[in-house]
Structure 1
Amino acid sequence: MEMICSPKDHLFQLESHKFERGRGRCPFGPSSSFTSILIEPKFIGSYMIPDNEDHDDNKVYFFFTEKALEAETSTHAIYTRVGRVCANDMGGQRMLVNKWTTFLKTRLVCSVPGRNGIDTHFDELEDVFLLQTRDNKNPVIFGLFNTTSNIFRGYAVCVYHMASVRAAFNGPYAHKEGPEYHWALYERKVPYPRPGSCASKVNGGLYTTTKDYPDEAVHFARSHPLMYQPIKPVHKRPILVKTDGKYNLKQIAVDRVEAEDGQYDVLFIGTDNGIVLKVITIYNQETESMEEVILEELQVFKMPVPIISMEISSKRQQLYVGSESVIAQVKFHQCDMYGTACADCCLARDPYCAWDGISCSRYYPTGMQAKRRFRRQDVRHGNAAQQCFGQQFIGEALEKTEERLVYGIEYNSTLLECTPRTLQAKVIWLVQRAHETKKEEVKTDDRIIKMDLGLLFLKLHRLDAGTYFCQTVEHSIVHTVRKITLEIVEEERVDEMFNKDYEEEIPHKMPCPMQSSIPQASKPWYKEFLQLIGYSNFQRVEEYCEKVWCTDKKRKKLKMSPSKWKYANPQEKKARIRPEHYRLPRNIADS
C-alpha cells in the first residue's frame, strides 16, 4: 500500500489529471481535465491499495469532498467521496484520449441513526488514516468528519472495511432517468469489460491496455462515473461523536494495541489549538452502542497552534505531531502517571498499561513480560475491585490522601487545586465547616465554580473557611484524592498591617537582612504576616522565606515601597490603588 499524494495539504488541484501541491506535482495518470465529473473537489488523501496479487489490477483510491449533484435536499450539499482509478490506465484510443477511462466514485457515509429513519450526517471529511493490517490488501480506513449543518457543529470518526469499499464499486451504477432526471439504479446491460475494471489477467487478460477497450465501454465509463451504493461504516454508525464544541478536530492517527482482554484501536486526534486527544472506543454488541474513553488530553505545543499533520511509529511507540513551524515527539504511553496503586492503574483503562504487582507499567503481550502472572488489566470494564483483589486495592497506596493548607484573602479569588488521575472519574467536592462534624457537598453558583483544575472561588467570604475534600468516583470506587484546609484572612487585618508607615521603620526592619541570624528586635515584614495568620511551624517558614526573599535579585525588587505588595479589595480600595499595582496571575504574566 503506497500513498500517492500527501493527504495533509488541501491545495490539491486537478489540472491535466495531476494533483498539484505547491510547486511540485504528483502525477499518477494521463493528462486531461476532470472538471465535468468532479465539482469543486477538495482532496484529502490518496493511496495505492492492491486488490490481489496481480499488480496490473492495482487501483488508486483517493478521498475528497465535492458538491453533490444527486443531493435532492440542496443544490449546494457537500458529500465525501471515494474515487478509484486503475494505476495502469493509459486512456482510450479513439475516445477519452489521454483521459481516464476507469474512473469511478461513490459516496462515503458517516451518520448517526436517528428517529423515524432520519440520520444526522457528517458530510465533510477533515482527515483520513489507513491502518495497515497483516494483509496489505485490506487496511482499515478511519475517517474524521465534521458536519456542514447550520444547526450545530460536530465531529465524528467512522471506520470502514475494504470489503465494503470494493462491494460499492463492484455494485450497480447510478443513472439519471425520467423527465426530471432523478438519480436511480442503472438496471440495463453493462458493456464488457466492466467499466472501471483494469486491463489485467485477473479480468480475463483479453485486453493488455485501456487503449484497446471498446468505445462502448469507454463511453459508458465517461457517462456513469457515480456508483449507486454508498460506502457505509462498520456498525452503521460512528465510533466517536464530539458535539460539545470544546475542540475543532483536524487530524487523526491510529495505533492497534493488543491488551489482556482483546485488541483495541487507540485514536490520536489533533485539534486546532495544539491538543492531542488519546481515545479508545468500546462497542457493546448487546446495546449496539459505543463507549468513549478519553485516556489523555495532551497539550503538545506551548502555544495553541493548529495541528496540521500527525504520523505514527508503532515500532518506536511514538507519535509525531506537526504544526506550521514545530514538530513534536510524543510517547504513546506514560503509565507511571496513573499513580502507584493497582486500582488507579486498572481504572485508567489504558491498553498500553497494566499493574505488574509493583507499579503501573507497560503492558506486553503473553510471553514478553517476566511478571506476567502479576498483570492486572481490564480495559473493557475497568473492574478494579475484581482485578486488584489482594493487590493494594484497599491498601495504603489507595487510602493515602494528600493534605494541604491554603490561605485566602477575603474578597480575593482562590483556586483549590485537584485533578483526577483518569479523565473518566467524576469529581465531587465536600466541605466540613469549622466546629462541625458532618460533611456536605459544595454547591456551585456564580461565585464558586467547578473547573477541570479544581474548585475556583471568584470572591472569598469568611464563611468559606473549612476543610474541603476532593473525591473521585469511578466504577463505584470512591477515593479522597486531596484534603484541603482553607483559612480565610480577614481583609481588615491585612489592610491594617500593610497600611503601616514602612518608610519610617525601614532602618530598623529590613525585609532582607544581611545576616541569616536576625536580631529579635528587627523582624522582616513577612514575619508579622505569618504571625497574623497564625502559622504553627513558624521556624521552617522563616528559613524558607529567607531563601526566597533574600537573594540579590529579590533584594533589588524589594527596594520599591512596601505598599507595592499590598493586597487590595477590588471593590472598595480601587480608588486608592493605581491600576499598574495589580499583578497579573502567574500563568498570564508568563505567557
Structure 2
Amino acid sequence: MAEPAGRRRGPFGLLVLVPLWTALWSSTCWARSGHPRLRLSHKELRDLNRSEVFQGPPGGLDLSTMLLDEAQESLFIGGRNTLFSLSLENVNAQHREIHWPSTATQVDDCLMKGREKSECANYIKVLHQYNGTHLLACGTGAFDPVCAHISLGRWAQDPVFTLQEDLVESGRGRCPFDPHSSCVSTLSRGELFVGLYTDYWENDAALCRLGNRSYTRTERDDRRLLNEPKFVGSVVIPDNDDPDDDKVYYFFTEKALDVESGNHAVYSRIGRVCANDQGGQRMLVNKWSSFIKTRLICSVPGPHGIDTHLDQLEDVFVLKKKDEKTPEIFGLSAQQATYFGATPEGPDHHWTAFQGRVPFPRPGSCASQVNGGQYSSSRQYPDEVLRFVRDHPVMLQAVRPLHHRPVLLRSEGGRRLTQLAVDRVEAQDGHYHVLFIGTDDSVVLKVITIYNADSDTMEEVLLEELHVFKVPVPITEILISTKRQQLYVGSELGVAQVKVHQCDLYGSACADCCLARDPYCAWDGHTCSRYLSVGLSAKRRFRRQDVRHGNAVQQCDGVLMRGQQSHSAEERRVYGVENNSTLLECKPRSPQANAHWLLQRGTDNDEVRVDDRVVKTPHGLLFLRLRRADAGVYLCQTDEHGFIQPLARITLEGSASKLWYKDFLQLIGYSNFQKVEEYCERVWCSERRRRKLKALQPKWKFSPAQERRGGTRGDRPRTPRHALTHPDTP
C-alpha cells in the first residue's frame, strides 16, 4: 500500500470529504423495526394530486439515465432508441422526443454476433449538459457505441429538441457496448470523465477522460487498479480555489485481491484522479499518474468483536453545499444474502503496509500551485514518482462513515433498497437530512435520522411510504428538485413526479402535525402546512414543530383549549352475542401509535386485561367468547411519544346466544337483511355463523316499501318459503 502505517493524514491526504453511508442489513435480527407515519398507495397518490406518471411508449421506456435541467425547466430521459424531454412542472404535459435507433447495419452486425434482438437497440446511457444550448448523449448503438449532440433552445420557451446528425460520432470509450453494463460519468469543463468497460466482451474496465485534452485512462490488464468493478457513481470535487487541484472521485465495487483463493469477497471502493492529469512523459503515457483508491467500510459490530461489512454498494448521492469543497456523500450499501456472514479484519495476503520513503510529489497529488508549483504538468513528474504511483495504488486507511456506523439500518422482509436522494431541510430545531430511498418494488421511503451525541445513538424516523408505480418494479433513478420540491422517480415503467411533502395528510390537529416529525411541516395555528424559516411574526407565534423529540404535549399545550382543532372520541354502540366473538374496532390514525383500552365503571377507568379470551389486535379489541359481564363502555385511546388522545367510546351490549337470530333481525332490520357482511363487521361473526346467515338469504322477499328502504327483489327468488314483513310496512 502507498500509505505508510501510522500517518495521521486522511486516506487521500484530505479532511474535507465526509461520507455518510446508509445501509441495508439482510438479517431481521439487526433491523430496527418501524412503521411509516403515512402510507400511500399508487391510487391514493394520484387521487390526492401528489403524483403524476409519464409512461412513455407502449413497450416501456427501458430507462437508462435521467438529467434534470432547472434552467431549461426540463427533465431529459435516455431510454431505448429514444430521448425524451419532459416538463418539470408536469411530466405528463406535452412532451418532446427524439427517435434515435441503431442503424440497420449495426443491428445486422449485432445479430450476427449472436446477440438477442432486444440487445441490438440503442440504449442511451450517457446524458449530460454540454453547454447552454446542447446536450451530450451517448448510446450503446447495437454494441457499437455512438455519441451525438442534442440541440436545445437557449431559453426554456424555445421549442427546440433535435439531434444533430452531422455530429454523430463513435462513442467507444465514452459509452459501454452492453446495455446491461454499469457505467458512470460526469462532465466538467467540456471533458467527460467516465468509468466503464471499454470493450465488447467486458474484459477491459477503465476510468477515462475524453475531451479537449489528451485521452487519459487507467492501465490495461492491471487487476490491482480495477478488478471486475461495478461502477456506481462519480463526481468532481474541488479541493480549494485552485482549479488545477480539482479531483474526480469514482465509487465502485470490485472483487478483492487481498483475500484467500476461493473467497469471492467484494469490496466497496472510492477512487480518485486529478482532473488535470496528463499522464507521464516516458512512463504512464496517456495513463493516470494520480490514480489512488481505498476501501469504503460500512460495518455493523458483531459477536466476538467481528464486524460484518456491507460491501454491496448500490448507489451514492452527493449533497452539495454553498461551499462546493465540502459536500456530504451518502452511500446506499447492502449485504447480499449470498455473501451473508462476518468478514473479520485480518492480515492481507497480497497487500502490506509500505514502510519506506514516499517520494515527492506524493501519490494522488496534482500538478498545481497549491502543491508548490514545482511542476506545471504531470508529464514533468520524475520517473521515480510515476513508478511508485503505478506500484502503490491502494491506500492503507479506509474511508469510514461519520459516527463510524450506518445512519440507517433497515430490513423489509426481502425488500431491496436500490436508489437514494437526499435533501437538507431547515427546521425550527435545526437542519435535517431527509432521505428518499427507492426499493425494488416501486416504493419510495421518506426517512430522517437523528443523531444523539449524548448517548452516541442514531434514531431513524420513517415518515412516509409512497407506492409510486402501480406495478412492483425496481426503482432505477431518483432525482430531486429542491427548487420545485419534487422528486422524479424512474423505472422501466416510466417516470413518476412526486411532491416531497403534503403536510395536511398527517392530520387536522396540532398534535398530528408535531407527532409526524416531518422537517418540511409545522402547525401554523390552523393547519399542518409547509414550514418556512422566514415569515411574519404573527405567523411565527403560532408555529409548532418538534422534529427531534416529537413532543406534542409541550408544543400543543393550550392549543386544543383555544378550540382551534380537537379530536373527540367517536361514539359507537356494538351488539354482541353471548359465547360468540365480537370485535370492538379501533385503529390508530398513525401506525406509530399504540392503542390502549379502558373500561369505564362509573367515574373510574380500568385498563382492560387481555388473556386467552380477550385479545388486542391491530384492528381493535377482540372478544373470542363474549360474556354478559363484558357489557359496558370501552374507551380506546392512543399513546404516541407520550401524547394521549381518545379515538372511540364504544358501548358494548350483549344478549343470550339462543336469541341471536332474533337479535340479528332487530339490529339490522328486515330491509337491510341482505347486508350480511356489514352486520358481521359490526359483531365479528364467526365463519360458521357467516355461512349460516348467507344460507338464509334466499328465503326472504321484500314488499315494495321494503325495497324502497334498501331491499332488492331482483336479488331474491320469486317463490320464497317464508315471507316476513317489517313492522313499519303499511
For 2:683, the equivalent position in structure 1 comes to: 487
5 Å matches for 1:528-543? 542=709
- CA contact under 8 A between 2:636 and 2:646: conserved in structure 1? yes
2:209 to 28, 31, 37: 28
Give the whole-Å Cα distance in 2 for the aligned partners of 1:337 and 1:194. 56
1:295 to 463, 474, 494: 463
**Alpha-carbon distance change, 470 to 299 in structure 1, aligned in 2, over 3 angstroms:** farther
Q: State TM-score, norm by structure 2.
A: 0.58
2:640 is the counterpart of 1:474: yes
2:252 to 61, 64, 69: 64
For 1:188, the equivalent position in structure 2 comes to: 356
Q: Give the % identical residues.
A: 52
Query: Once superposed, what is the RMSD of the aligned Cα atoms?
Result: 4.4
Q: SS of the counterpart of 1:191?
A: coil
**Alpha-carbon distance change, 456 to 207 in structure 1, aligned in 2, over 3 angstroms:** farther
**Counterpart code for 1:298:** L
Q: SS of the counterpart of 1:312?
A: strand
CA deviation after TM superposition for structure 1 residue 27, in Å? 4.8
For 1:12, the equivalent position in structure 2 comes to: 182
For 1:534, the equivalent position in structure 2 comes to: none
Farther-moved stretch of structure 1 (403-412 vs 300-309): 403-412
**Alpha-carbon distance change, 152 to 519 in structure 1, aligned in 2, over 3 angstroms:** same
Give the whole-Å Cα distance in 2 for the aligned partners of 1:274 and 1:449. 32
2:558 to 386, 390, 403: 390
For 1:497, the equivalent position in structure 2 comes to: 696
5 Å matches for 1:403-414? 403=571
CA deviation after TM superposition for structure 1 residue 33, in Å? 2.3
**Alpha-carbon distance change, 559 to 21 in structure 1, aligned in 2, over 3 angstroms:** farther
CA deviation after TM superposition for structure 1 residue 492, in Å? 7.5
**Alpha-carbon distance change, 294 to 492 in structure 1, aligned in 2, over 3 angstroms:** closer
Could you report, residue by residue, the CA deviation over 1:473-524 in whole angstroms, capped at 9, with x for unpaired residues?
1122222334567325644762453242x7xx6xxx5xxxxxxxx744xx33
**Alpha-carbon distance change, 412 to 106 in structure 1, aligned in 2, over 3 angstroms:** farther
For 1:143, the equivalent position in structure 2 comes to: 331
Give the whole-Å Cα distance in 2 for the aligned partners of 1:353 and 1:379. 9
For 1:321, the equivalent position in structure 2 comes to: 489
- CA contact under 8 A between 1:14 and 1:33: conserved in structure 2? no
- CA contact under 8 A between 1:248 and 1:271: conserved in structure 2? yes
**Alpha-carbon distance change, 193 to 341 in structure 1, aligned in 2, over 3 angstroms:** same
CA deviation after TM superposition for structure 1 residue 201, in Å? 2.1
Give the whole-Å Cα distance in 2 for the aligned partners of 1:227 and 1:5. 30
CA deviation after TM superposition for structure 1 residue 118, in Å? 2.5
**Alpha-carbon distance change, 104 to 190 in structure 1, aligned in 2, over 3 angstroms:** same
Question: Highest relative contact order (Cα 8 Å, sep 6+), 1 or 2?
Answer: 2
CA deviation after TM superposition for structure 1 residue 328, in Å? 1.2
CA deviation after TM superposition for structure 1 residue 146, in Å? 0.8
For 1:249, the equivalent position in structure 2 comes to: 417
For 2:540, the equivalent position in structure 1 comes to: 372
**Counterpart code for 1:479:** Q
Could you report, residue by residue, the CA deviation over 1:385-406 in whole angstroms, capped at 9, with x for unpaired residues?
1111111179684441235678
Give the whole-Å Cα distance in 2 for the aligned partners of 1:20 and 1:73. 26
**Alpha-carbon distance change, 488 to 20 in structure 1, aligned in 2, over 3 angstroms:** closer
2:371 is the counterpart of 1:203: yes
Give the whole-Å Cα distance in 2 for the aligned partners of 1:43 and 1:409. 65
CA deviation after TM superposition for structure 1 residue 258, in Å? 0.8
1:118 to 297, 301, 306: 306
**Alpha-carbon distance change, 282 to 74 in structure 1, aligned in 2, over 3 angstroms:** farther
For 1:100, the equivalent position in structure 2 comes to: 288
- CA contact under 8 A between 2:418 and 2:440: conserved in structure 1? yes
**Counterpart code for 1:497:** L
Farther-moved stretch of structure 1 (401-410 vs 71-80): 401-410
Could you report, residue by residue, the CA deviation over 1:449-481 in whole angstroms, capped at 9, with x for unpaired residues?
945xx3598x98777998876542112222233
5 Å matches for 1:343-492? 343-367=511-535, 371-392=539-560, 397-403=565-571, 419-428=587-596, 440=608, 450-451=617-618, 454=619, 470-482=636-648, 486-488=682-684, 490-491=689-690
Q: SS of the counterpart of 2:445?
A: strand
- CA contact under 8 A between 1:281 and 1:293: conserved in structure 2? yes
Q: Which runs of 5+ in 1 are unaligned?
A: 155-175, 510-517, 528-541, 550-554, 564-591
1:133 to 315, 321, 324: 321
Q: State TM-score, norm by structure 1.
A: 0.71
Could you report, residue by residue, the CA deviation over 1:403-428 in whole angstroms, capped at 9, with x for unpaired residues?
56789999999998765444432344
Farther-moved stretch of structure 1 (475-484 vs 357-366): 475-484
- CA contact under 8 A between 1:431 and 1:468: conserved in structure 2? yes
CA deviation after TM superposition for structure 1 residue 112, in Å? 2.4
Give the whole-Å Cα distance in 2 for the aligned partners of 1:432 and 1:23. 77
2:233 is the counterpart of 1:45: yes
Q: SS of the counterpart of 1:250?
A: strand
